[in-house]
Amino acid sequence: MQTEKLYENDAYLRSFTAKVLSCEPLADAKKRSDGAAYGVILDRTAFFPEGGGQTADRGNLGNAVVSDVQEIGGEIVHMTDVPLPAGAEVAGELNWEERLRKMQNHTGEHLISGIVHTQFGYDNVGFHLGTDGVTVDFSGVLTAAELEFVEYIANRVVGLNVPVTVSYPSPEECAAMDYRSKLDLTENIRIVTIEGWDVCACCAPHVSTTGAVGGIKILSCENWKGGVRIRMLCGLDAIADYHKRLTQTVRISNLLSCKQLEAADAVERLMKQGQAEREETAKLRHALLDMKIAALQKTDGDLVIFEDMLDNNSLRALVNAGVELAGGVCAAFQGNDADGYRYIIGSRTVKLRAWAKEFNAAVGGKGGGSEEMIQGTAKATAETIRSFFA
Ligand SMILES: [Zn+2]
């Protein structure tokens, strides 16, 4: 016995009663991440199974949680966490919030696809509708301006509150009809019509007028297999997305002390300012390095430098200059007593590999390098480090 598909003729049915025809343990229960362990078949159902790019309805059957619904071998199988006795009457309840959002998104997608088809002749060649949003693939490339136009027309049709109807034309009527997603078969074709705007073969539940879509927003468009893939949201999902984006805009504009709709200009100014400051800092650091090099004193012993304003490359340049003036080693340190110091040490006269062992032991150090230059870290105070050289 075929399960009666209540969702096909009443998309707004959210609770129903049905008889359990069978309940079997799922063979793949261990592999599932949703906790479903049983497959339940009913005499009738309002649960839409996954199909045509739309994910399955979820909800409850009695005290069982329905986490997935699949059409398997022509049967609609409800995946539940606990078993239901065959022959029992059960009350079914959809997760209505999720279903309503899907209906808004799906009808909005038909409207967008219908307008693209009529205006540009491109087909919808891919569709995904889950809880994570909607993607639609078109067979041709649409520019940003063209999509803005399509979105505007679609939202006007939302405002006009056009009826969305379902029909089952006869095979003869079907063969003579022009509709999107035209299938090879002509029997049991379900046609969803947005009056005056779109005719499409589709098995999914839809809202009953375009006003119930609640608004349509195209979020992004990327090139996809010779055409484009758009991401879009409708109704409640579009509002939730708008809320997230507005929260970001408010935060950014508060941080920059600018008007909300001028945040991008303010960010651009800030980035230019940051770049100019980085260039200025690099210049100053260069000048500082030149001054530090000029201030180095020639010595027969070691040159020990504590320096916290130079970056690593400048510190290395300072040590390179220092080794020419030192009879022993030139050692430069950067850091503080609490966190320790990084060091770069060079010499023309001392073989540093052997020297480094003694040095590291004295200052809790780690590191190494060549005979001429070593670098590493020291876990010691400046006083301890200076006393090593004294
Ligand atoms: Zn559809």
pLDDT digits (tens, 9 = 90+) for 40-71: 999 999 999 999 899 999 999 999 999 999 99
User: How far from chain centre, in Å, is Cα 126?
Assistant: 20
CA–CA distance, 296 with 304 (Å, rounded to integer): 10
Tell me, in angstroms, the distance from the centre of ligand 1 to residue 21's CA: 29
Tell me, in angstroms, the distance from the centre of ligand 1 to residue 88's CA: 33
Q: What integer is the mean pLDDT of 233-262?
A: 97
Q: b or e along 76-110 (b: 16 or more beta carbons within 10 Å of the residue's beta carbon)?
A: bbbbbeeebeeeeebebbbbeeebbbbbbbbbbbb
Tell me, in angstroms, the distance from the centre of ligand 1 to residue 198's CA: 11
Residue 132 has pLDDT above 90, yes or no: no
Domain boundaries, the chain: 4-94, 100-250, 285-389
> How many other C-beta atoms are found inside a 10 Å radius of the C-beta of residue 189?
21
Beta-sheet pairing, 329-336 with 340-347 = antiparallel
For residue 335, what are its two tokens? 């850091």
pLDDT, tens digit, for every residue of 316-327? 999 999 999 999
Show Cβ contacts of residue 381 under 8 Å, excluding neighbours closer than 6 positions.
337
Tell me, in angstroms, the distance from the centre of ligand 1 to residue 181's CA: 9
Tell me, in angstroms, the distance from the centre of ligand 1 to residue 173's CA: 20
CA–CA distance, 360 with 343 (Å, rounded to integer): 11
pLDDT, tens digit, for every residue of 101-126? 999 999 999 999 999 999 999 999 99
Model pLDDT, residue 1: 76
Residue 183 has pLDDT above 90, yes or no: no
Residue 6 has pLDDT above 80, yes or no: yes
- Assign 375 to helix, strand or coil: strand
Greatest distance between any 2 Cα atoms in the chain: 106
CA–CA distance, 111 with 219 (Å, rounded to integer): 16
Cβ atoms of residues 304 and 296 within 8 Å: no
Tell me, in angstroms, the distance from the centre of ligand 1 to residue 67's CA: 22
Beta-sheet pairing, 64-72 with 59-61 = antiparallel
pLDDT, tens digit, for every residue of 72-97? 999 999 999 999 999 999 999 999 99
Tell me, in angstroms, the distance from the centre of ligand 1 to residue 36's CA: 27
Tell me, in angstroms, the distance from the centre of ligand 1 to residue 8's CA: 12
CA–CA distance, 232 with 252 (Å, rounded to integer): 24
Tell me, in angstroms, the distance from the centre of ligand 1 to residue 218's CA: 17
Tell me, in angstroms, the distance from the centre of ligand 1 to residue 316's CA: 66
- The CATH number of 285-389 is 3.10.310.40
Mean pLDDT value across the chain: 96
Q: What integer is the mean pLDDT of 288-293?
A: 96
Q: What CATH class has 100-250? A: alpha beta
Tell me, in angstroms, the distance from the centre of ligand 1 to residue 52's CA: 7
Tell me, in angstroms, the distance from the centre of ligand 1 to residue 201's CA: 7
Beta-sheet pairing, 44-45 with 4-5 = parallel
Q: Is 369 exposed, middle or buried (0-12, 13-18, 19+ CB in 10 A)?
A: middle
Cβ atoms of residues 175 and 19 within 8 Å: no
CA–CA distance, 228 with 138 (Å, rounded to integer): 5
pLDDT, tens digit, for every residue of 139-174? 999 999 999 999 999 999 999 999 999 999 998 998
Model pLDDT, residue 131: 81
Tell me, in angstroms, the distance from the centre of ligand 1 to residue 197's CA: 14
Tell me, in angstroms, the distance from the centre of ligand 1 to residue 359's CA: 75
Tell me, in angstroms, the distance from the centre of ligand 1 to residue 108's CA: 10
Residue 217 has pLDDT above 90, yes or no: yes
Tell me, in angstroms, the distance from the centre of ligand 1 to residue 210's CA: 14
For residue 253, what are its two tokens? 């504009």
Residue 130 has pLDDT above 90, yes or no: no
Tell me, in angstroms, the distance from the centre of ligand 1 to residue 125's CA: 12
Model pLDDT, residue 21: 98
Instruction: Grade residue 133 by pLDDT with cuts at 50, 70 and 90.
Output: confident
Domain 4-94 falls under CATH 2.40.30.130? yes
Q: What integer is the mean pLDDT of 249-253?
A: 97
Cβ atoms of residues 61 and 108 within 8 Å: no
